[in-house]
Each structure stands twice: as C-alpha cells, then as structure tokens.
Structure 1
Amino acid sequence: MERRDFVKTMAAGAALGIITQDTQAVGIHNSSEKTDVTDRNDRAYWCNLMYRMSEPVLSAMSKGELRKRMSVEVSPTWDGRDKSVTYMECFGRLMSGLAPWLSLPDDETQEGKQRKQLREWALQSYAHSVDPKSPDYLLWHSEGQPLVDSAFFSNALIRAPKQLWEPQDKVTKERIISELKQLRRVKPPYSNWLLFAAMNEAFFKSVGESYDPMRADLSIRKMNEWYVGDGWYMDGERFHYDYYNSFVIQPMLLEILEVFSEQSESDKKAYNQALKRIQRYSEQLERMVSPEGTFPPFGRSLTYRTGAFQPLSLLAWKKLLPEKLSEGQVRAALTAVQKRIFTNPTNFNAEGFLTIGFAGKQPELGDSYSNNGSMYLTSECFLALGLPATDSFWTAPAADWTAKKAFANDKFPKDYAVNY
C-alpha cells in the first residue's frame, strides 16, 4: 500500500469514528453507556494505528532508505553514544510488536492488504539490516546498545517464524545468525540486560542453531533471585518502581522459558511459575487504567507510551489471560489507553515517525538513552492483533474495566497479594 492510500484509509477511519479527537472516541463516556460503533471498530482502530507506525519505517527500509528518510531526534540529555543506534532500535522494537499481526494468513480485506504489504516490506528490511553493502545495515559492531535491540529483533523472529524467518534466503539467514552471535562480545550488566543475551540464545534454539545454554540459564536464575513478590521483579540488585516489568522483564522471561520449557522438567516448572507471576502483574496493570483511559506516568522510559501494557496484550494473544480478566474488558481498557495517548497528533512528526514523548511530543521526558527509534517499543501493546478478527478477544462485547466499575459504584473484585 502506498502512503497516499494509507492517508485515504485513515480518512475513512475518521469518518467511521475510529480515528477522531473528540472525547467520546477516546473512550470517555458514562459507565451506563453500552457498546457503540467505536467498540465494534476496536480492531480497525488498532490495525490502522499499527499500520500508521509501521508504514514509514518499513516502506523506507525495504528500499534501503530508512537512514535517508528518518531524521534522528535525541533526548536533551543524550549521553553521547553513536546516534545511528536509532535505526536499530526503531526496526527491532517495531518488528517485535508487529510480528504477531504479520503471522496471520493473507486475505482480501483492507486489513489483509495492509498486513501483506507490511510483511513483504519487513522481509526486505531484514535483508537490508544485515547486508554490509546496504545503506540500512544496522549498527551491529559498536557500542553495547545493539545487544538490547538485537533481542527485540530476534524476538520478532520467534513470534512469527513462518512469516519472518523461514522465507528469508540462505545468505540473509546466515548473516542474521552471524550478527547475533558476534554480540556475545557484549558483557551485559546484571540487570534486565541479561534477558537480551538470553533471548538471542532462545532464538538460536528455536531455529535449530547451536546455542549457549549458560547464557540463558544465568538470566533465568538471576531473575528468579530478583523476584520480590506479588508479581514484581527487581531490575538487578535494587527495586525500580517503573514499567520495566512490562517493557522487558516479564514478557521476555516468559517467552525465553517458553522456548526452553520442552527440554527439562525444571524449565517447564520455571515457565509455569513465570506465567503465574506475569498473570498477577497483568491483573495489577489492568487496575492502573483509569475510567478515562489514562494510566500513572511514573518511572523510567515513560516515552515508550503504551508499551507499558505489553504483558496484557501478550497474554491475550497467547490466550493466557488470568481468570479474573475477561477478554472484553482487557480489549476495552487497552483501546481506551491507545486512544488516550495517540489522539494527540504530535505523537508523529511530519514524516510520520514517532516523536519523543508520552501523550504527544514531549522531548524533555526523554532519558539520556532516548532517541526517536526507542519510541517504537510502544508497538508491544499491539500483540493481540496476532489473534484473527473472528477470535473472541475481538468479538466479545466490550466490558468495563476494573477502575471504570469502581468509580461508577459498580461491583468489582477485591484485590489481594499472592505468594508465588
């Protein structure tokens, strides 16, 4: 799909009430109001927004023109690292969130056409990413940061192997393996970075490549040592009250263990424990969504926006939501959050790329490591698009989420700590 066609799609969405700036579409309405047209169009809204994020990146990179088209924006407190890391962050993080949607089969719907085009661009982009002769060859061989985004890069391949890995030609596959393995040169600090090294090893195992079990085992052991209770992990030797349990720790730990769970009973037990913990954490995340679709702006990396809700979307995609959360209420809550954040047009610049900010362009919120490529971690909130339109997650009636019930004086479940 060309960019001009996308503009038409967005205009059509606005006409349907899918994309609008009025408060009703954002999800601010009385608890007594029931499902309306915006509820029935939740999936169309998600698809259009995901396409809007993806199209500028992949249409450019598929031609080897991402560096040419995407201007770099960095935080006012930028730490001085090589700014070209921006492109690796942008591509790796976008693909991690986009991959489940691309795993669905082709069809002749508007969504299907969007998906097919993005998949074709993505395959071409992967080839450029590891081709030393391409203008869009990524920053694999300097800095430590590439280890971080290599994990998102490989996580996408784990999430959609038949669509993103298997169709690649032999040379591209060999280059991907080589680039990921040379990143073993990076010694990760004792923090969530251990999971980046482990994710790459999980990818190697998933495709039948030789892997280092110690790099995965160390990460799993340390994360279990850092578990502080009631669904929360420390990030290293101290506790951080932020969304890194969402951005990295809980989802990556679960998916790494999912890959390794078949090889031993202890790994299967560890997976089941991690699943219970992320389910508990997701119950708390759902309660953080206010009746208006806002959520608390605390901690590092707030500019990753709705990436804070990755665990809920991941569990929805894998059909593993905790029993206390219905699919209708999770979809409604996540849609309200997306609309509350992305109604502001300054989330995107004139070229269509994400800007640094939280609910719009707010560069002062950037951390010392923040660039506009970092922002694409917000795509992780879209994992549930990996469920087809006929799935109950999309067809279940929209339901009020916990905070909406609470502040409307409706019945809602009490909440208690867990001991696993």
Structure 2
Amino acid sequence: MIVHTHQQNLIKLSILTILLLSLSFNRSHAQQNSNGVKDRQIWVKALYKIAYPVIHNLSKGTLKQNLPLEKGNNYNLKLQDVTYLEAVGRTIAGVAPWLGLPDDNTEEGNLRKGMRLELLQGLKNAVDPQNPDYLNFRSQAQAIVDAAYLAQTFIRAPKALWEPLDQVTKKRYIEEFKSLRTRTGAYNNWLLFAGLTEGFLMSIGEQYDPARIQFAVNKVTEWYVGDSWYKDGEKFSMDYYNSYVMHPMMVDLTKILSEQKKGSTDNYNQALKRMVRYAEYLERIIGTDGSYPAYGRSVTYRTAAFQALAQVALMDQLPAGVTPAQVRCALTQVFLKMYDGNQNFDDKGWLVLGFNGHQPELADVYTSTGSLYMATLAFLPLGLPAENKFWSDPSAPWTAVKAWSGQSFKKDYKVEY
C-alpha cells in the first residue's frame, strides 16, 4: 500500500500532536501531584523573586534610586510621591507571615532570616527623614492606602517586624500614621484603609480615631449584598477588590475591635464567615492549568486576587469540603503559571505592568510599578510551618480538576450570612 506524502505528513503531525498533549498532561499531572515539600519550594522561590528587589534596596537606601518608574498612559497621581510607599507597604504585607516564622538552620530558614533582617533595617530607613528612602506619608491621599498595608504588616507579624524596632522608629511610624488624618479618600474600600491604620494604633495602646474605625465597619457592613460579596461603595463592582481589600481588612479590623473589647465578637465572626465563603468561590475559579479570569479593574495586581483564600488558609478556616492540600496545589499551579518564567519581570527583576506579561495598556490611572507589589498577598500560607497539614498532606485535586476529569465535587449554593 502506497501512502502519499501528504498523508504521511498528516500522520506525523498527528503523532507529534499526541506526544505534545501527553507531555503537557504529564507535566500538569506531575505538578498537581507534587508533594508539599516541592510546592513550598516553589512558593518560596516565587515570593523571594518578587519581594527581594524591594526589601533589599530599601535596606540599602537605594529603593528610590533603583525602582523603575513605569506608569500607565493615563496615570493621574504624583508618581514619585506615591510609588515607593506603594511598593514597600504592599510587598511586606504579603511577606510578613513568612518572616514571622522562627529561625531554623534550613536553606529556607536562612533565606527567611536574611530577608527579615534586611526588612527591619529597611523599616528603619523608611521613616528616617535623613535616609534617601524616607517614604512620603505626609502628602497625597494615596498614602492612606499604603500606610494601611504597612499597618497590616505589623498586625500580621508583630513579634518579628514591630516589636524588634527601636523606640525612635516605632515613634516615627506612630506619628506618620497619625499624620494621615489630614486627608480623606474615596468613598469605597478606602474607608477600610483609614480604619485599619487606626485599628493598629488601638492595638498597641496609642491614641486612635474611633470615628474612622466605626465609620469603616458600619459602611462596609451596610455594603454587604449577600453570598460573600460586598459592594465597593454605593455601587457593586465585579472585580477582585473583595480579595484585595474588603474581606481581609474587615476581618483584621473587627478582630482587633473584639480583642480590645471595643467591638462585638459577633461582628468579627460574621466577617470571618463571609470571607470563608468568598474563599470557597476563589478556589473554584482556579482552572486546571492554574489560570483564572482576568476581569475587573486592577488585574495588574496579579495574584493578590487570592489574598482572601490565602488568609483563610493561614487561619486554618477553610470552608467545609475544601482541603488545605487542594488549596496548596491550586495556588502552586497559579504561581508556576505566573512566576516560573520571566514574563512578568524586567531584566533587573522588577515587576512590569501587566497581567501575565508586559501589558502596560492594562494599567489603571493609579497604577505604577510600586502598585504591582500587592501580588505578594497570595503567599500568606507560607506563614504556616512546613510540618503544618497545609504543606504535609498528600497532594489533592482542586475543584476545577475534579470537575473537568469527571470526579465527584461539591455542589455550590449561596449562603445567607
């Protein structure tokens, strides 16, 4: 039987396609079934890759010298007044739980200790008026936002990142936070930024503004629309701000109020239940290959979209039917897809404007290089020690993998709280 050249080529192409699909499946399957030790290494590598340029330069007083000043075409802020504080606050809010772990002699432990020591020096530099990297808290409304992420850093790792600071540095942070009261911001998630900074001051026994705290809690409670979703102000927005800001900061603030006997424990428990439900939603949108929808504003914050899921995992409060291992494996796949290559970094290791690659057209009017470092907020479970079940349990498929491979998976229904 004679097979024509065209037919031979088709056969060869079909065989090649099958081989490529098999390799792709095997790589994905191997990633889904990698053990927790390997997954943790992937997380540490990605987080360190993102955070190191910011923390290292801040420790040396060279952040303002070396941070690229890329911005969107319609950028409408005073770039050099805001981008450096953005980079610092957003980076360290995600790194804090990891740096809060005790020292050990492992390779990861040495890496962590080195970064923590650099950050402590950097935190000192950031509020030293004589340092080249003295950050601007005193002008621009944007400082309200990123001071809150700094406050959240201290809330998340007080023993590692707040208590070791010298008294002069602590006093400087307190005064910088209080200086924010001369400004106001947008009538939306910004209320939580102002409230959380004041909540931190309350938590350390400093004078605080109760009106800013109560206004934030009251309005966000009013903005709840059901099934884990808050409006971002008077109108609902379909974006990731419920994860970037609303749930994590509402939970953190109401927890402080409860602990300080200034608010109801019921309010905290309700906020937590709502975040747990939202985390269930986030786990479901992670595709079999680690992709997730790029919808809404601020998609250049990349993996910050999963902060609420990450925080729920850190708190050991995952919803029923969602195991720590499946969250670990799902987020590992996300991090591999987003950070294993160099498409999201420039040649010096800084993040570039975009979602998955250099896509500056996606930048919002408030987005610059410093804004992007909210990406670290998905890495909060690294604050769980390596022996925790999040890392030690056998690998498990997440919801999308179950659904698309014909396995049984939990049906989804709305909740009423």
Q: TM-score, normalised on structure 1?
A: 0.91
Q: CA RMSD in A?
A: 1.6
Q: CA deviation at 1:212?
A: 1.6
- 2:29 counterpart of 1:29: yes
Instruction: Select 1:337's aligned residue among 311, 334, 353.
Output: 334
Instruction: Select 2:301's aligned residue among 293, 299, 304.
Output: 304
The answer to whether the 8 Å contact 2:280/2:319 transfers is: yes
**What is the number of residues matched between the two proteins?**
395
Residue aligning to 2:53: 56
Residue aligning to 1:9: none
Instruction: Select 2:85's aligned residue among 88, 93, 110.
Output: 88
Q: CA deviation at 1:363?
A: 1.1
Instruction: Select 1:129's aligned residue among 116, 119, 126.
Output: 126
Residue aligning to 2:4: none
2-structure distance, mates of 1:66, 1:235? 32
Kindly provide the amino acid, as one letter, of the partner of residue 234 in structure 2: E
The answer to whether the 8 Å contact 1:342/1:360 transfers is: no
Q: CA deviation at 1:108?
A: 1.0
Question: Unpaired runs of 5+ in structure 1?
Answer: 1-21
Q: Deviations over 1:42-94 (max 9, x none)?
A: 00111111111122111111111111122211112211423341111000000
2-structure distance, mates of 1:55, 1:287? 31
The answer to whether the 8 Å contact 1:97/1:383 transfers is: yes
Matches within 5 A, 1:340-359: 340-359=337-356
Residue aligning to 1:378: 375
- 2:229 counterpart of 1:232: yes
- 2:321 counterpart of 1:324: yes
Instruction: Select 1:169's aligned residue among 150, 163, 166.
Output: 166
Matches within 5 A, 1:98-117: 98-117=95-114
**How many percent identity over aligned positions?**
46
Closer/same/farther in 2, CA of residues 365 and 162 from structure 1, 3 Å limit: same
The answer to whether the 8 Å contact 2:248/2:311 transfers is: yes
The answer to whether the 8 Å contact 2:194/2:213 transfers is: yes
2-structure distance, mates of 1:322, 1:34? 21
Q: CA deviation at 1:213?
A: 1.8
Closer/same/farther in 2, CA of residues 209 and 188 from structure 1, 3 Å limit: same
Residue aligning to 1:19: none
Q: CA deviation at 1:168?
A: 0.7
Q: Deviations over 1:199-225 (max 9, x none)?
A: 111111221112122211110110010
| 1:228 aligned counterpart, secondary structure | strand
The answer to whether the 8 Å contact 2:32/2:397 transfers is: no
In our comparison, the structure showing a higher alpha carbon Rg is 2
1-structure distance, mates of 2:402, 2:287? 10
1-structure distance, mates of 2:93, 2:76? 25
Kindly provide the amino acid, as one letter, of the partner of residue 352 in structure 2: T
The answer to whether the 8 Å contact 2:279/2:309 transfers is: yes
2-structure distance, mates of 1:330, 1:362? 28
1-structure distance, mates of 2:196, 2:263? 18
Residue aligning to 1:4: none
Matches within 5 A, 1:361-376: 361-376=358-373
Question: Unpaired runs of 5+ in structure 2?
Answer: 1-22
Kindly provide the amino acid, as one letter, of the partner of residue 65 in structure 2: K
1-structure distance, mates of 2:331, 2:33? 15
The answer to whether the 8 Å contact 2:344/2:354 transfers is: yes
Residue aligning to 2:145: 148
Instruction: Select 1:393's aligned residue among 390, 394, 404.
Output: 390
Closer/same/farther in 2, CA of residues 258 and 291 from structure 1, 3 Å limit: same
Residue aligning to 2:15: none
1-structure distance, mates of 2:171, 2:263? 32
Q: CA deviation at 1:270?
A: 0.5
1-structure distance, mates of 2:362, 2:375? 15
Residue aligning to 1:65: 62
Instruction: Select 1:271's aligned residue among 268, 273, 276.
Output: 268
Kindly provide the amino acid, as one letter, of the partner of residue 28 in structure 1: S
Residue aligning to 1:16: none
The answer to whether the 8 Å contact 1:344/1:360 transfers is: no
2-structure distance, mates of 1:332, 1:318? 18
Instruction: Select 2:199's aligned residue among 182, 198, 202.
Output: 202
| 2:254 aligned counterpart, secondary structure | helix
The answer to whether the 8 Å contact 2:32/2:333 transfers is: no
2-structure distance, mates of 1:34, 1:376? 27
| 1:29 aligned counterpart, secondary structure | helix
Residue aligning to 2:209: 212
| 1:83 aligned counterpart, secondary structure | helix
Q: TM-score, normalised on structure 2?
A: 0.92
2-structure distance, mates of 1:410, 1:138? 52
Q: Deviations over 1:4-60 (max 9, x none)?
A: xxxxxxxxxxxxxxxxxx9579x6339xx97246x5400011111111112211111
Q: CA deviation at 1:377?
A: 0.3
